[in-house]
Amino acid sequence: MTEPLRLSKRMSELGLCSRREADEWIARGWVRVDGIVVSELGSKVLPSQRISVERQAAAEQSKRVTILINKPVGFVSGQAEDGYQPAVALIKEANRWSEDSSPTLFHPTQLRSLVPAGRLDIDSVGLLVLTQDGRIAKHLIGEETSVDKEYLVRVRYTKGDKLPDSDLRRLNFGLTLDGKKLKPAIVKWQNEDQLSFTLREGKKRQIRRMCDMVGLKVLGLKRVRIGGVKLGNLPEGQWRYLGADEQF
């Protein structure tokens, strides 16, 4: 690869920050290419060139928070819609989990640029990540993400007594959505009416649509894990900070 590409894109590729953060840093004069400050947005670089950032950028990035919330039914993940509140409305001191061990103090400025890194539909509950850190957002929802997500799904079979083993195998690998074959999943019974789904992709209402294709009606859906971070005992409607020792 020898073609020049946008500096902000290259910074994102290198894992330094998100493209939006890169543009902010470039505009503030916090980015150097081969030791020379580059402050013009849209500047291009070669892959062989060395990119560094000023200490101010690293200091600002370290202040950015990542919050884990146990989203209840009736809240949307992102922007408010159709009269429903976004999950970020729950992020206030009164709803912070009393057992959160993080020393971080809550401040309303932490709500700025706090965006969901992945979604849960309005009828689903469980682990939702909200972050100010573009690196985390890219890691969780970028096209190349390898972070798996685990869900517990309560179901009822509508075509007889029991889901055939052949359809369970199709849930693991063999279904197509929106004209594309789904990536392999891990789907297994937890008990007689609950399945565990582990996915590495997140198409819109994917699990509900997968279940519908094999005659399963979803009665409840809860996300319990994203990579190495578990929902654990976090109560519904409450939140905590991502711990310094936790990694997705």
Known catalytic residues are: 121
69 and 238 Cβ atoms separated by less than 8 Å? yes
Question: Residue 93 and residue 107: Cα distance in Å, rounded?
Answer: 8
Q: Are strands 216-226 and 125-131 parallel, antiparallel or unpaired?
A: parallel
Among 188, 148, 150, 194, smallest CA distance to 169 is for: 188
3-state secondary structure of 139: helix
12 and 51 Cβ atoms separated by less than 8 Å? no
Q: In angstroms, how far is CA 218 from the centroid of its own chain?
A: 22
Question: Residue 86 and residue 114: Cα distance in Å, rounded?
Answer: 12
Residue identified by tokens 């009822």 is 156
Q: In angstroms, how far is CA 221 from the centroid of its own chain?
A: 17
Question: Residue 122 and residue 71: Cα distance in Å, rounded?
Answer: 9
Query: Residue 226 pairs with which residues in a beta bridge?
Result: 149, 229
